[in-house]
Amino acid sequence: MTSMDSGTLSVGLDARKLTDYGIGTYISSLLRGFASKPEVDLTVLARAGHEDRVAGLAPDAKILSISVREYSVAEHYRVPAAFWRENVDIIHVPHYVVPFALRRPVVATIHDVIQLYYPPQRRTHLALTYLRFVMGSTLSRARRVITGSLSSRGDLVKVFGADRTKVDVVPNGVDPDLERRPPVEELEEIKKRMDLRPPLILVVANDKPHKNLDTVLRAYHLSVRTHGLPGQLVFAGGVKPDGRLARKAAGLGIGDRIRFVGRVSSADLARLYHLSAVLLHIALYEGFGLPILEGMRVGLPVITSNVGAMQELGEGVARLVNPLDVQEVARALERVLIDDPLRRRMIESGKVRAGKMSWEKTVDGTMAVYRKALAAPVSPEMVVGSGRGRSW
């Protein structure tokens, strides 16, 4: 008998990655959403020191604290131990590492397979083997698996032979408050603080191979050199202001036209969106592409890649380009910045698209997956801790 019999859904959520860049936004939004659902009885596993953050998002949740290194052997028994005495119906692990000793029904979110397609630098062969094994094991053992796009579901089927009927596509949402334009004095303050001179071409990304930032820089340089493109190129995220891209920009003679503002607060990111003329997101691979959706919600024309989840999200509303074609990206930049009728059409259609995608829908879709998981028959591979099931 579960708490569902009384109309309540008792959920355990692993929120240890609450402060991670992309997945942290996802977890924060789930916490806020579940907190607004009276039928959800929420228990949250938090990293030690993050209890107040969790309480601020979900005041009525029961919080369990844990201090254990991620991607370690220890988390496979420490996380289950933390949940051992909790009478939850289901545990949601919002990433690909589902500890082997968990004994409750599990739903996992696997956002993408980026680390397999584009392994981080200095990632050892052993680490990649572990990643592949654990991700494949999670696909076998979880009752249901959530991912954010049809493209990501296709990758899980292609790379791991995952059961397509067991993988649910629940798209991410976007914060509607982004649409609210900040006061003029706040926009002027950040322009002065960051030395910004619009029109701004905004890139929200970390400096990772799949983000394709070298092509961004080359396309911007080509537009400046051949057509005198005005304004600045702004990188927000994990890009070092004194790193390799900065050195490359200086070598191209456009160092004074680039701003590397680093990781910024959510408030500053919203201000940057509202100050910008276009969002440029030409990654080689994404599991979803949240900045694309955020840019649309704010009212920015978006230029993005004509592949995978980015094409899926931007089809019919964004300017889709070949992310490997520097000239095509440069032409798209020039066109979007000078063609006012095109800009207006992109802005209007982007707002419509973003308006249909909310975190509330993500939360409702996630809860529907929980109920589906609890209603599903249990196969031997789903008995977490049995060690059975295909690893890849």
The ranges assigned to domains in the chain are: 3-173+359-382, 176-355
Q: What is the CATH number of domain 3-173+359-382?
A: 3.40.50.2000
**Tens digit of each residue's pLDDT (9 = 90 or more) over 52-108:** 999 999 999 999 999 998 888 899 999 999 999 999 999 999 999 999 999 899 999
Paired tokens of 104: 């409750």
Residue 124 scores a pLDDT above 90: no
- Residue 3's pLDDT is 60
Could you tell me if 57 and 32 are in contact, meaning their C-beta atoms sit under 8 angstroms apart? yes
**Tens digit of each residue's pLDDT (9 = 90 or more) over 149-199:** 999 999 999 999 999 999 999 999 999 999 999 999 999 999 999 999 999
- Chain centre distance of CA 106: 21
Confidence of residue 385 (pLDDT cuts 50, 70, 90): very low
State whether the Cα torsion 119-120-122-124 is positive or negative: negative
Q: DSSP secondary structure string, 134-187?
A: HHHHHHHHSSEEEES-HHHHHHHHHHH---GGGEEE----B-GGGGSPPPHHHH
Q: How far is CA 10 from CA 26, 45, 48, 91, in A?
A: 20, 14, 23, 9
Give 227 or 38, the one with higher predicted confidence. 38
Confidence of residue 388 (pLDDT cuts 50, 70, 90): very low
**Tens digit of each residue's pLDDT (9 = 90 or more) over 234-285:** 999 999 999 999 999 999 999 999 999 999 999 999 999 999 999 999 999 9
- Residue 387's pLDDT is 34
Distance CA 342, CA 345 (A): 5
- Residue 391's pLDDT is 25
Confidence of residue 120 (pLDDT cuts 50, 70, 90): confident
Stretch among 4-8, 50-54, 298-302 having the lowest mean pLDDT: 4-8
- Residue 379's pLDDT is 63
- Residue 252's pLDDT is 95
Confidence of residue 210 (pLDDT cuts 50, 70, 90): very high
Confidence of residue 5 (pLDDT cuts 50, 70, 90): low
Question: pTM value?
Answer: 0.90
What are the backbone angles phi and psi of residue 288, rounded to the nearest 5°? Answer: -150, -65
Distance CA 343, CA 356 (A): 20
Q: How far is CA 288 from CA 29, 165, 316, in A?
A: 16, 20, 16
Could you tell me if 352 and 320 are in contact, meaning their C-beta atoms sit under 8 angstroms apart? no
Q: What is the CATH number of domain 176-355?
A: 3.40.50.2000
Distance CA 298, CA 307 (A): 23
| CA atoms within 13 A of residue 263's CA, in its CB half-sphere | 7
Q: Which stretch of DSSP H or E encloses residue 106?
A: strand 106-109
CA proximity to 6, closest of 63, 94, 87:
87
Query: Residue for token digits 């200086």?
Result: 250
Residue 113 scores a pLDDT above 50: yes
Sequence-ordered alpha helix ranges (H) in the chain: 21-35, 51-57, 75-83, 114-117, 125-141, 150-160, 184-194, 213-227, 244-251, 266-275, 290-298, 308-314, 326-338, 340-355, 359-375
Sequence-ordered alpha helix ranges (H) in 167-289: 184-194, 213-227, 244-251, 266-275
CA angle in degrees (0–180, nearest 5) for 200-205-207:
115
CA proximity to 283, closest of 83, 156, 118, 68:
118
Rounded to the nearest integer, the mean pLDDT of the chain is: 92
- By residue count, the chain amounts to 392
Residue 292 scores a pLDDT above 70: yes
Q: How far is CA 124 from CA 128, 347, 367, in A?
A: 6, 44, 37
Could you tell me if 261 and 236 are in contact, meaning their C-beta atoms sit under 8 angstroms apart? yes
CA proximity to 299, closest of 180, 171, 188:
180
